[in-house]
């Protein structure tokens, strides 16, 4: 593996992506949590507690190799990706709630992600592996996630017009950078083809279940259809870029990054099919009914 590609290129790509997220955020996106006193805790609990348990169950049933199992749990603990906002908009979810969840979840993950990863490493690799997220590595995750977001938010606060104009170019640049770096890093792994074959179906199933759990569980707990659509995409579309960056640059293990790399490919068609299934079921019509003032379950 080209060390410069991993140590410089991938963090740079993630920094651009997180900077782009910051360009779209304002302090009000965090303050909006108070306007969703039920939705935000329910969805965050699903993300923080249910998804790692789901990932663990799938890893056990599928009999994944230890490093691939750690990679699956790393992905499960990663926050929702910014693409969730786009899918939620396309399929009539609560877009404002998505933005709030993405903002809050990116901060909360700084605490929860190291916890889940350390537990996964202890379970599957043992203490003798020498791989873990000690304090210094946790600070590194903080730096590559939160600092670019903060800079992006600062730029927006100083010049909203520039932030709006830069949004599309930054998104394109981040996508190109991510593609080049991830393909180069994964292709350098001798067993990459074998691992893709091993986890392709597993990651597709995990994606479908993440989307489903993200929608169904909040619905059972009384959230509105629009909020549940937002939740489904927020929980089902993980920040695979962050998971890959943690695996390659923080943990220094390419194999651990394979599940996230595969997930980053399969999640788009699976999420689109999930949205189409919601549309055919009539759920999206009910989200429209709620927006027109017709009866819908309140966010209590």
What number is the average pLDDT over the span 17-35?
74
pTM value is 0.78
Mean residue pLDDT of the chain comes to 80
* pLDDT for the residue 58: 96
Residue 143 inside a domain? The answer is yes
The stretches of 8-81 forming alpha helices (DSSP H) are: 10-23, 27-31, 39-45, 51-62, 66-77
Residue 98 inside a domain? The answer is yes
Residue 157's CATH number: 1.20.1530.20
Residue 296 inside a domain? The answer is no
CA-CA distance, 145 to 20, in Å (whole number)? 11
Task: Give the domain range for residue 202.
Answer: 3-290
Residue 154 inside a domain? The answer is yes
pLDDT in tens, 161-196: 888 888 778 777 766 766 666 666 566 666 667 777
pLDDT in tens, 64-89: 999 999 999 999 999 887 778 778 87
CA-CA distance, 237 to 63, in Å (whole number)? 24
Looking at the predicted structure, is the pLDDT value of residue 205 above 70?
A: yes
* pLDDT for the residue 295: 39
CA-CA distance, 206 to 197, in Å (whole number)? 15
What number is the average pLDDT over the span 19-25?
78
* pLDDT for the residue 15: 77
Residue 274 inside a domain? The answer is yes
CA-CA distance, 149 to 29, in Å (whole number)? 13
Task: Report residue 283 as tokens.
Answer: 């759920």
Higher pLDDT, 101 or 51: 51
The domain tally of the chain equals 1
* pLDDT for the residue 296: 42
pLDDT in tens, 211-232: 999 999 999 998 989 899 999 9
What number is the average pLDDT over the span 197-205?
91
Higher pLDDT, 214 or 12: 214
What is the DSSP code (8-state) at residue 80? B
* pLDDT for the residue 297: 41
Residue 299 inside a domain? The answer is no
Residue 15 inside a domain? The answer is yes
Residue 298 inside a domain? The answer is no
23, 67, 93, 120, 132 from 126: Cα distances, Å: 40, 11, 42, 9, 10
pLDDT in tens, 105-139: 878 888 888 889 989 998 998 854 445 555 566 67
Looking at the predicted structure, is the pLDDT value of residue 246 above 50?
A: yes
């Amino acid at each position: 593996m080209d060390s410069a590609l991993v140590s410089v290129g991938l963090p740079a790509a993630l920094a651009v992506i997180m900077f782009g997220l910051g360009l779209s955020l304002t302090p009000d996106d965090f303050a909006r949590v108070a306007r969703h006193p039920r939705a935000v805790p329910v969805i965050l609990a699903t993300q923080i507690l249910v998804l790692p348990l789901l990932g663990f169950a799938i890893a056990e049933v599928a009999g994944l190799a230890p490093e691939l199992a750690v990679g699956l749990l790393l992905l499960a603990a990663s926050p929702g990706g910014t693409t969730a906002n786009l899918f939620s908009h396309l399929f009539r979810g609560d877009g404002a709630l998505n933005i709030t969840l993405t903002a809050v979840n990116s901060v909360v993950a700084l605490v929860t992600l190291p916890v889940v990863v350390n537990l996964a490493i202890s379970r599957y690799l043992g203490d003798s592996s020498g791989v873990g997220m000690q304090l210094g590595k946790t600070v590194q995750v903080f730096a590559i996630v939160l600092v670019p977001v903060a800079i992006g938010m600062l730029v927006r606060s100083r010049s909203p017009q520039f932030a709006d104009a830069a949004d599309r170019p930054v998104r394109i640049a981040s996508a190109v950078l991510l593609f080049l770096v991830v393909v180069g890093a994964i292709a350098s792994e001798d067993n990459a083809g074998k691992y893709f074959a091993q986890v392709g179906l597993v990651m597709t199933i995990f994606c479908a279940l993440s989307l489903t759990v993200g929608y169904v569980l909040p619905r059972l707990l009384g959230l509105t259809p629009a909020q549940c659509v937002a939740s489904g995409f927020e929980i089902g579309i993980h920040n695979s870029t962050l998971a890959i960056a943690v695996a390659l640059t923080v943990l220094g293990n390419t194999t651990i990054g394979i599940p996230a790399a595969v997930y980053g490919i399969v999640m788009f068609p699976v999420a689109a099919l999930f949205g189409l299934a919601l549309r055919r079921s009539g759920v999206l019509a009910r989200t429209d009914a709620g927006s027109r003032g017709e009866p819908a379950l309140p966010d209590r």
